[in-house]
Amino acid sequence: MIEVFSGTATLCSVAKQFGLDGSLALDKMRKKGAKATIFVFDILDPKDQELLYHWLESDLVAWVHIAPVCGTCSRARQIRNGGPRPLRSDTYPMGLPDLTSEERQRVDLANKMYVESCKLFQHCDSRRILVTMENPSSSIFWLTDPFLQLQLDMEVFHSDSQMCMMGGSRPKWTRLVANFASISELDIACDRQHAHQPWGKTMDAAGNEVYATSLEAEYPRRFCIAVVQCVLRQLQRQHLELPPNTLFDIKDEKCLKCRQPESLP
């Protein structure tokens, strides 16, 4: 598998542990504390694009995961808590009309990444490669022109999961969009049988004051296991030959029991 915008590469690490030994994590920067080796990659660099699309010609690539940066699309910006101001809205998903030149530059850069992410998604589908794309369920990314065009061009499927049921400490809703229907197996809503860490300002592991949303950016390991299992089961349904240790892991690793989510907040 190839994980694009890998962050801490937790998903890539879990994929490797489940037998997908050749998995690659790609990101523009190597993040401290990454769980797997990250190869520096810029989706907007023509040379990096050429290399990635060359890799996708290989029959050895079975799955690509894309997680475009959602900072400018975050609904948290709409909360009046002293944090950064909104840069987009439902009416102006490609950027508010009153942005400063610096804000416009940042939004335009994100929009270019969204175009390339959706282009990559569609290319993977044309190559019959399983592809998943992630953003918060409430992200304005899902309203941007590139994603709306993607939905017009091909059939996509999605799941919505609350991370507190997937190893997270807060009830964050995360959406996965995929080119296979069984992604809905990951739908799960909070069962309200546990406590949640609060939102707003908090302290990180180094003792610095941060917004809690930044602490929820890394995928919980349990979520990664669930996603990898879902993909491996789909590959089995497609009669793809998998390494023996991968099949062993699917059989012996306890699967997560998910249920249909309630209405999103």
Per-residue pLDDT at 195 = 86
In this structure, what token pair is assigned to residue 122? 């569609």
pTM greater than 0.85: yes
The answer to whether the beta carbons of residues 135 and 67 sit under 8 Å apart is: yes
In b/e form, how buried is each residue of 180-207, taking b as 16+ CB within 10 angstroms? beebbbbbbbbeeeeeeeebeeeeeeee
Query: pLDDT tens-digit profile of 22-63?
Result: 999 999 999 888 999 999 999 999 999 999 999 999 999 999
- Say how far apart CA 70 and CA 137 lie, in whole Å: 11
Domain extents for the chain?
Answer: 2-252
Q: Which CATH class is domain 2-252?
A: alpha beta
Cα R_g (the chain), whole angstroms: 18
Residue 218's pLDDT is 87
Q: Does residue 262 or residue 25 have the better pLDDT?
A: 25
Work out whether strand 201-203 and strand 209-211 pair parallel, antiparallel, or are unpaired: antiparallel
Question: Confidence band (pLDDT; 50, 70, 90) for 93?
Answer: very high
Distance CA 174, CA 137 (A): 5
Confidence of residue 196 (pLDDT cuts 50, 70, 90): confident
Answer yes or no: are the C-beta atoms of 231 and 183 closer than 8 Å: no
Beta carbons of 164 and 138 less than 8 angstroms apart: no
For residues 124-147, give the mean pLDDT. 97
For residue 119, give both structure tokens.
């282009």
> Which tokens belong to 75?
């609904």
Residue 250 binned pLDDT confidence (cut-offs 50, 70, 90) = very low
Which whole number is the average pLDDT over 102-106?
Answer: 97
Nearest CA to 135 out of 54, 235, 245, 216 is that of 216
As a whole number, the mean pLDDT across the chain is 87
Predicted local confidence at residue 79, as pLDDT? 76
Q: What does the block give as tokens for 38?
A: 């990250």
Higher-confidence residue: 254 or 235? 235
**261, pLDDT greater than 90:** no
Burial group, residue 31, by CB count within 10 angstroms (0-12, 13-18, 19+): middle
Q: Please name the amino acid found at residue 175.
A: R
pLDDT band at 201 (very low <50, low <70, confident <90, very high): low
Rounded average pLDDT over 200-224: 71
What is the pLDDT confidence band of residue 169, given thresholds at 50, 70 and 90? confident
| pLDDT at residue 239 in the model | 74
What's the CA gap between 27 and 4, in Å, rounded? 6
Q: Which of 98-112, 124-138, 192-206 has the lowest mean pLDDT?
A: 192-206
Find how far residue 159's CA is from the centre of its chain.
12
Cα–Cα distance, 82 to 179 (Å, whole number)? 39
- 65-76 per-position pLDDT tens digit: 999 998 899 998
CB of 154 within 8 A of CB of 122? yes
| Structure confidence at residue 83 (pLDDT) | 72
Looking at this protein, which amino acid is placed at residue 46? P
Q: How far apart are CA 13 and CA 218, in angstroms?
A: 13
> Does 187 score more than 70 pLDDT?
yes
pLDDT of residue 31: 84
Report the alpha-carbon distance of residue 52 to residue 131 in Å, rounded.
14
Kindly indicate the confidence band of residue 245, based on its pLDDT and cuts at 50, 70 and 90. Answer: low
The SS3 call for residue 81 is coil
